[in-house]
């Protein structure tokens, strides 16, 4: 069985991979996430996913496949990263309030010889958010390390009035597309349930 490594510290991605029954080992992959001058959001997020996979592969011993992923929020063509402080988080939530934005998640896999990647775009609409709500949401601590300053799988779900696309991609890993990529490296889903299927 091919060993899969996840080059991500995200608990959301760990939970999503576990959800589809794919065993994995976490490896570190520290990279510079600064966008290049004039870089399009789709190219940016896919470049980071590939860079994480390659960096993770450099940290493993022996054979294996490394999965890297990256998620970014885009409003009017502008990348919204993780807020640096409360003021930036409140400004982001104010900009997103009552509007649609895109969430781009890229996934990349490499075995050292072959690399494959893809990018999934979802559209999210927020209802209007009051300043008091935004402040209380920041005080919860949830927005600190989230692209765009919110988490759809957490408390931030109350702001989402509409989603078009992949929910799991907005959380951090598009499961349908990830399963297809894993299949191309002979890594099946539902491995933890194979015994129960056989009964």
- Kindly list the catalytic residues: 70
DSSP code of residue 124: E
Are 159 and 127 in contact by the 8 Å Cβ rule? The answer is yes
Integer CA distances (angstroms), 34 to 31, 39, 80, 164, in order:
9, 10, 12, 28
Residues 189, 36: Cα–Cα separation, whole Å: 35
Integer CA distances (angstroms), 68 to 56, 57, 91, 196, in order:
8, 10, 29, 30
Residues 6+ apart with CB under 8 A from 79: 35, 41, 44, 72, 73
């Amino acid at each position: 069985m091919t060993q899969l490594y996840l080059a991500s510290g995200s608990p959301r991605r760990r939970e999503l991979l576990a959800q589809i029954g794919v065993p994995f080992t976490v490896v570190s992959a520290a990279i510079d996430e600064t966008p290049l001058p004039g870089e399009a959001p789709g190219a940016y997020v896919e470049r980071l996913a590939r860079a994480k996979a390659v960096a993770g592969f450099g940290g493993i011993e022996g054979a294996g496949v490394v999965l890297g992923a990256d998620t970014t929020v885009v409003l009017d063509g502008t990348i919204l990263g993780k807020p640096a402080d409360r003021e930036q988080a409140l400004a982001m939530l104010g900009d997103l309030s009552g509007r649609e934005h895109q969430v781009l998640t890229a996934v990349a896999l490499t075995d050292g010889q072959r690399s494959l990647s893809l990018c999934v775009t979802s559209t999210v609409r927020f209802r209007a958010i009051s300043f008091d709500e935004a402040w209380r949401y920041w005080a919860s601590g949830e927005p600190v390390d989230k692209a765009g300053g919110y988490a759809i799988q957490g408390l931030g779900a109350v702001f989402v009035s509409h989603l078009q696309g992949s929910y799991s991609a907005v959380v951090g890993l598009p499961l349908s597309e990830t399963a297809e990529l894993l299949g191309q490296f002979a890594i099946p889903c539902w491995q933890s349930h194979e015994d129960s299927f056989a009964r």
